[in-house]
Amino acid sequence: MRNITVVGGNMFRLAAEQLDDATQWIRIAQANNLTDPIIVGVVSLWLPDRDPAAGGGIAPQ
């Protein structure tokens, strides 16, 4: 896991750029205890390691 600082945007784009799969946005949200994929302001986020098998964009129930 690594930490990055972003200025606004959304986790869909971030997941596409950093994890090669926009549907993995939920993994970024879970790693940072967030539920909203919209990023407002300057935020430091933990990024999980790439996992091609992960995805779906839906939090486990």
Structural domain boundaries in the chain: 2-47
> Measured between alpha carbons, how far is 55 from 43 in angstroms, rounded to an integer?
23
* CB contact at 8 A, 41 and 7: yes
Q: What pLDDT digit, counting tens, does each position of 4-23 carry?
A: 999 999 999 999 999 999 99
Name the more confident of 26 and 58.
26
2-47 belongs to CATH 3.10.350: yes
Record the pTM.
0.86
In eight-state DSSP terms, residue 60 is -
